[in-house]
Structure 1
Amino acid sequence: MDQDFMNRFMPRVVDVLFRDRQHWNNHQYEVVIPSTQMCNMGYVVSGEGKLEINEESYKLRKGCFYHISPPGVRLRFTTESTNPLIYIAVHFDYRLIEWEGRELTSKVSRTSLRLPHVVELDSVTRAEEQFRQMLQIWNDKCPGYEWRSRDFLIHLLDQLEGMQTSKPLSELRAEQSIHRAMEHVHERFREPLNREQMAQYCSLSVSYFSLLFKKYTGYSYVQYLHKVRLEKAKMLLRNGFAPISEIARDIGYEDPLYFSKLFTREVGLSPRDYRKG
């Protein structure tokens, strides 16, 4: 999952369950859900079985992580009585949130999480420990158990993404180019650095540069430049007494009125009120 997705990812854990032999006895070793109502992920503690998502089939065994998203897919778990699938399941849903100034917007995502549906993990013992801790937190129902479970879920997904195979060389080079661009912005934000100049600096076309910048930072290039400049403006407003027009020019805005409007829109306070606060 890329940085933009994780920045906006806000899950809600619905349930954490231990699916044992008794569970399979009660369901005759088959569970079918024609259309899932929430997302599902889990870790196989022991046994063997099969997971079918729509028309695709995956084998499950000890050490496998699985995830099923988005809601609305056909799900089928099967196993055998001789070696039943024992696993910890986490049911959750999520929204993608975004701040625009002081306004928060959110939307339901209908796309799958950017992970393979089934992953056989290398660090089996550690993964099992983490899932068992999450199960314990949920079952104990101590104060704060919901946000702690949510924190575990975010951490697990982020960690699993990091366990995936190494990125291809072309993707690594693209990522390095954007990091160079970000460093360049931080060093020279006072200068009139437009998107075309930055694309040329990275030896990329303007359209490809824009696509990559959004992918790796979560912001358009112009949004990121404003963000860096406004963070500097906040520091100058907090720690000094320079006129607002001078601060505007110092961070790269020749028009103080434009700076004030931009600052108010993004921060939720005018530069003057921010300084007083």
Structure 2
Amino acid sequence: MSYLFWSRFHPRLIDVVYRNETFWETHRYKLLRERTMLHSLALVTEGAGLFELNGNTAALAPGVVFQVWPGCSMSITTTPEQPVLFYSVQFRYCMLEWEGESASARSCEDALPLPVVSSYPVASPIRDMFESAYRSWRGKTADYEWQVFAQTIQLLRRLTDGELRHNTSDEVGDRIVGQSIEYMKAHFKEPIGRERLAGLLSLSPAYFSTMFRKLTGYSPTQYLTKIRLDEAKRLLRTTRLPVADIAAESGFADSFYFARVFAKETGLSPSEFRRS
């Protein structure tokens, strides 16, 4: 799972609803959308039903989380005896990217990098998060949009953590990538290439780089540069060392290259960052 996706993910909340018995009576126990318009993340709390998305079907029961995204053919069917009740957070999202002082946003209609349908314990914290988001949205306090935005981000973090725990290959990748990052943090002043990192983990450089990028969204070299830049920011804030010395202390052999990379990342020169 790429953490870069979530670091750039920015939702615009549209509605938070609870589909209850009255809703199903009104819709005669069938919800049909020939083409969905919004993203929706939902949690079933009671009852039973059948979820169909783009021709694929899944059973709905308490604890099931499912997602829908724009452009899908969707239906949910249930019965008067056991109507399927669920919370649904409806939203659009864009991918927000920064480069120096400039930001760009790209609207997305793709599914979230989560399973379409997954199951969690009925009494899990995920239910509490959906309920809190629904209460906040209904409460309409002055800061309700910010509250639900934060609750949605926490909910997605919980869902991604749960997915990682159920995915053995991601666990292995997390461990390998985590070990390489710890090594970078301890040795960032030294020349470090992907061959050195891969060798420490007994992996081929190509396989290591592919796994690293898949999980972080960055190449090993790009990630090392981020670590070095964070150290440079710390030194600029806390010392009066000359910029050339800070570059060297942060692992940059060339102070001019350091200044260019720093400005591209922050939109400020090292001296401007220090004054700010």
TM-score (norm: length of structure 1): 0.91
Deviates more, 1:55-64 or 1:198-207: 198-207
Distance 1:108 1:274, change over 3 A: same
Following TM superposition, by how much is the alpha carbon of 1:53 offset from its aligned partner in structure 2, in angstroms? Answer: 0.3
Look up the SS of the partner of 1:163 in the other structure. helix
Q: Deviations over 1:214-249 (max 9, x none)?
A: 222332212211111111112222222222222222
Match of 2:255 in 1: 256
Cα distance between partner residues in 2 of 1:171 and 1:65:
20
CA contact (8 A) 1:4 1:215 kept: no
Correspondence 1:210 to 2:175: no
Aligned length: 275
Correspondence 1:230 to 2:229: yes
Match of 1:11 in 2: 11
Cα distance between partner residues in 1 of 2:128 and 2:243:
54
Following TM superposition, by how much is the alpha carbon of 1:198 offset from its aligned partner in structure 2, in angstroms? Answer: 1.9
Distance 1:235 1:109, change over 3 A: same
In the TM superposition, 1:41-120 aligns within 5 A as 41-69=41-69, 71-120=70-119
List runs of 5+ in structure 2 lacking aligned partners: none
CA contact (8 A) 2:126 2:158 kept: no
TM-score (norm: length of structure 2): 0.91
Distance 1:53 1:220, change over 3 A: same
Cα distance between partner residues in 2 of 1:245 and 1:89:
54
Cα distance between partner residues in 1 of 2:43 and 2:239:
54
CA contact (8 A) 1:34 1:75 kept: yes
Correspondence 1:245 to 2:244: yes
**CA RMSD after TM alignment:** 1.9
Cα distance between partner residues in 2 of 1:260 and 1:120:
49
Match of 2:160 in 1: 161
Following TM superposition, by how much is the alpha carbon of 1:76 offset from its aligned partner in structure 2, in angstroms? Answer: 0.5
Distance 1:180 1:63, change over 3 A: closer
Cα distance between partner residues in 2 of 1:148 and 1:22:
27
Match of 2:137 in 1: 138
In the TM superposition, 1:29-44 aligns within 5 A as 29-44=29-44
Look up the SS of the partner of 2:174 in the other structure. helix
* Structure 1 outlier segments of 4+, above 6 Å: none
Match of 2:265 in 1: 266
Following TM superposition, by how much is the alpha carbon of 1:139 offset from its aligned partner in structure 2, in angstroms? Answer: 0.9
In the TM superposition, 1:191-202 aligns within 5 A as 191-202=190-201
Distance 1:258 1:122, change over 3 A: same
Following TM superposition, by how much is the alpha carbon of 1:125 offset from its aligned partner in structure 2, in angstroms? Answer: 5.8
Q: Deviations over 1:73-100 (max 9, x none)?
A: 1010111122222222221121122222
Distance 1:46 1:176, change over 3 A: closer
Q: Deviations over 1:165-189 (max 9, x none)?
A: 5332x54333222212111111111
CA contact (8 A) 1:41 1:68 kept: yes
